[in-house]
Amino acid sequence: MRQMLLIAKRELMVRVRRKSFIVSTFLVPLFFAGMGIVPVVLMKMDSGIESRIGVIDATGRVAEGLSDSQNVKFTVLKGMKPSDVQAVMADPAYTGVLTIDSGAVETAKDITLYVRKSPPLELTAKIEGRLAESISEQRLLQYDIPDLKEVMNRLRVSVQMKSITLKDDGSEEESSATVTTVIAYILGFLAYFLIMVSAQMVMNGVVEEKSSRIVEVLASSVRSFDLMMGKILGIVSVFLLQALLWVVLTFIIIGIAIPIIGVTVVKEASTAASSLGGDAGITGMFGEVGGQVLAPLANVNFAGIIGTFIFFFLFGYLLYASIFAAVGSAVEDPSDTGQLMLPITAPLLLAMLCMLMAMKTPDGPVAFWFSLIPFTSPVVMPVRMTYGVPAWQLIVSGIILVGSFIGMTWLSARVYRRGVLMYGKNFGWKDIWRWTKG
């Protein structure tokens, strides 16, 4: 154990002193923060650009109902005909000219937008939305029924259904399928990504030391099992330390940047969303969605979900890291690992597919069995946990995962002991299988 910890400490100290570790520690948070901040800044820069649309309306009615939206202003060109489009477009103040045929109210066709160059999708969507509202209003007026518009508005029903989870003790908790699904997807993808990246770091580390012959010096004084496990523990310590620094630095950068740019992401996102349709309707929708999300979010069992995620991630990492270390010991160059990667990455790719099935039917046979299989449970079980899992299934899955980790580590150590000191050719799965037998 002491030798294992010394190897882990050495691995940690060597890697944190590398320039690549230091540079990536600061660059990655800048990238993540930039993904949230840069779009907001760009939207703010674009918010002042206004499109002025001239309207030539042969119906004499539709143009009156075209209300201005954010950054799109309509100007009714009275007394003009479609033949006057060229003259209007000669004025640089106009972005485009909209011509509405006399039969547009009945057909909702024969409407043309003239522009100098291909218009952006957002502009055409705004104009079409305003036209649809105005034509609908004119059609309602043709029926000459008092308060018909109000009646039609009342007929447009938007159902909002609450989900209540009944607990075994009789208590009730408000839940949300949307909130649960989002959390499940984030956890599943995060588990897949972290295990894949960190396990590959282990394999690359083994190949690097084998190619530089450093492992020969270490193997002469340390048991191969301690050497392999020390490397695995050291690399996961580096990975977790860097991940923690990424999270902390990202929040610090965002916290510093938001007061400087003078806006918030939520405000800009709401403004941008409202510009795509009815401003009041979208703004109200954001308020309603906020209320529907916050209440169920407060009832989420974050302690159980996070605890499950950490447990299955750590032992899933240890399981896959031991396999990747064994494979890394069989090659002398990172480029030679390609032929050996598919069999060991296929279970993780399968786990991603099963994750989607688990989100659809968390208690179905696919979700159940693949949350017990140790090669897929690190991804599938945290996803199922967000929906609720019987305690016995959680315990059984955990025991199987830990037992599989111990057994796979023992087999991988046998492969590692032989492969890490062999040079001269690239070994395949046939050789690895022979090494497991001693």
DSSP string for residues in 47-97: TT--EEEEEEESSSSTGGG---BTTEEEEE-TT--GGGHHHHHTSTT-SEE
pLDDT score, position 315: 93
**Which residues make beta-bridge pairs with 437?**
none
CA distance 311 to 399: 11
| Per-residue pLDDT tens digits for 173-219 | 666 677 788 888 989 998 999 898 888 888 888 887 777 767 667 76
Residue that is written with structure tokens 């105005």 in the block: 134
Coil vs helix vs strand at 173: strand
pLDDT score, position 216: 67
CA distance 77 to 83: 13
Pairing of strands 172-175, 51-57: unpaired
Instruction: Report in angstroms the alpha-carbon separations of 284 from 1, 268, 274, 289, 290.
Output: 60, 15, 10, 9, 10
CA distance 370 to 438: 31
Q: At what angle do helices 391-419 and 302-328 cross, to 10 degrees?
A: 20
Task: Give 363's DSSP letter.
Answer: T
CA angle 168, 170, 173 (to 5 degrees): 90
pLDDT score, position 352: 93
pLDDT score, position 284: 47
Coil vs helix vs strand at 424: coil
Coil vs helix vs strand at 332: coil
pLDDT score, position 436: 77
CA distance 143 to 122: 33
pLDDT score, position 376: 94
Instruction: Tell me the one-letter amino acid at 99.
Output: T
Rg (the chain; Cα; Å): 31
CA distance 417 to 50: 69
pLDDT score, position 368: 94
CA distance 340 to 245: 33
Q: pLDDT tens digits for the chain (438 residues)?
A: 788 888 888 888 888 888 888 998 999 888 888 877 777 777 766 666 788 999 998 888 888 888 887 788 999 998 888 888 898 989 888 999 999 998 888 888 888 999 988 888 888 888 898 899 888 888 888 887 777 777 777 777 777 776 777 666 666 666 667 778 888 898 999 899 989 888 888 888 888 777 776 766 776 777 777 878 888 888 888 888 988 898 898 888 878 877 766 554 445 444 544 444 444 444 444 444 455 555 666 667 788 889 999 999 999 999 999 888 888 877 777 666 777 788 888 999 999 999 999 988 989 999 999 999 999 999 999 999 988 889 999 999 999 999 999 888 888 888 877 777 676 666 777 777 887 776
The neighbour count for residue 221, using CB atoms within 10 Å, is 8
383, 391 Cβ separation under 8 angstroms? no
CA distance 180 to 169: 22
| Per-residue pLDDT tens digits for 28-60 | 888 888 877 777 777 766 666 788 999 998 888
CA distance 209 to 199: 16
What tokens does 118 get?
A: 């291909």
- Residue count of the chain, please give it: 438
174, 291 Cβ separation under 8 angstroms? no
Coil vs helix vs strand at 139: helix
Indicate the pTM of the whole model: 0.69
Per CATH, the homologous superfamily of domain 51-146 is Periplasmic binding protein-like II (3.40.190.10)
Pairing of strands 51-57, 96-100: parallel
Domain edges within the chain: 51-146, 174-246+292-436
Task: Give 102's DSSP letter.
Answer: T
CA distance 35 to 38: 6
